Amino acid sequence: MDGMRTYPDAYVKYLAVFHGARDFFECHEIMEEYWKSQSGARHEKCWLTLIRIAVACYHARRGNWPGARKMMDKALQDMNPVLMDELGLDGRRLAGLMRDALHRWTYEKDTAYEDPDLPVADPALLGEAIRVCRENGWTWGTPSHAVAPDVIHRHLMRDRTEVIKARNEAARKKREARRNHGQENI
């Protein structure tokens, strides 16, 4: 590609939140919404890999090592260094960082969580992500110990009212369908 590459806004925001706010739950939300809109696209699995990296980091930071290992392993399965290079990352270095994290989380007893930094290789992408970071009042490379507990434990703090309503409605429809199916057999 000639000249400067342009990257999706969601991706730039993901990088800013990942390195600045260290809100891995929000990173998951940002990238999942974008990924769902990219079905069949060339970088579809890259977006999924980035989602899984954020979820793995969310779990690892909270000490949920089984969840962290599971997500990082899944991220590695879909990891494509060449396609990550196309997205302005150093794909081989990213794959190595992922493998190292998975190894530590699996084999090192009493492993401590360490903040990851994704290897952004494209200076223009890095500059744009740092700009978005600053616009939001974050510092690039914020350490997790400086992150508020409500960010670290986001899933415990979120309003699940709509999710619970949707689940109850699905269960009601399922019961109704079973009842109706039973009446048809009479």
Residue-range domain boundaries for the chain: 9-141
Class of domain 9-141: mainly alpha
Q: Which residues contact 89 (CB under 8 A, 6 or more apart)?
A: 118, 119, 120, 121, 122
What percentage of residues in the chain have a pLDDT greater than 90? 66
Average pLDDT over residues 131-140: 95
What count of residues does the chain have? Answer: 186
Looking at 3-138, list the stretches that DSSP marks H as alpha helix, in order from N- to C-terminal side. Answer: 9-16, 24-36, 44-61, 65-78, 81-86, 91-107, 123-135
Q: Across 128-137, 139-148, 151-160, which has the greatest mean pLDDT? A: 128-137
Average pLDDT over residues 154-164: 57
Distance of CA 183 to the CA centre of its chain: 46
- The confidence score (pLDDT) of residue 2 equals 44
Residues pairing with 89 in the sheet: 120
Closest CA to 56 of 124, 118, 130: 118
Yes or no: say if 7 and 23 are a contact pair by the CB < 8 Å rule. Answer: no
Token pair recorded at residue 119 = 């290897």
- Model pTM greater than 0.85? no
Question: Residue 116 pLDDT more than 80?
Answer: yes
Token pair recorded at residue 166 = 């949707």
How far is the C-alpha of 186 from the C-alpha of 184, rounded, in Å? 6
Yes or no: say if 105 and 53 are a contact pair by the CB < 8 Å rule. Answer: no
Confidence of residue 169 (pLDDT cuts 50, 70, 90): confident
Question: Residue 53 pLDDT more than 70?
Answer: yes
